[in-house]
Amino acid sequence: MKSARLEEFRQVAYKYLGRAKDATFELTDAILLTRNVYSLADLSLSPVFRRKWPSIYEALQDSRPQRQKLMQLYPTFRTSISSINKLHLNKIRNYNFDS
């Protein structure tokens, strides 16, 4: 149930990201999962960011997220998200990025 709620949140959020959705979504995951970031290039080293480092700059430049819709989305899922953050982190940590 919790995993399904997280997937639903991520799918809805993905729709609101505008252009460069994939790179922006991976960048968001990298930001959430990287403890110490000193530059954008550091984020490109995250295992969840599977693109080359220039994609970070392209995502930031090209993405036109629907900010109001994203801001309204979070309160809708807030209690579910806070209870499943650990589940999501474990899922990403255990993901085989080589496949």
Residues 1-46: pLDDT tens digits? 467 777 888 888 899 988 888 888 888 888 888 888 898 888 888 8
Q: Is residue 45 part of a domain?
A: yes
Q: Is residue 65 part of a domain?
A: yes
**Amino acid in position 53:** W
Number of domains in the chain: 1
Q: Is residue 98 part of a domain?
A: no
CA 4, chain centre distance (Å): 16
d(CA 24, CA 5): 21
Domain that holds residue 28: 2-93
Q: Is residue 63 part of a domain?
A: yes
* Rounded average pLDDT over 61-79: 82
Q: Is residue 99 part of a domain?
A: no
The answer to pTM > 0.75 is no
**Amino acid in position 78:** R
pLDDT of residue 3: 72
Highest averaged pLDDT of the listed ranges 58-67, 71-80, 82-91:
58-67
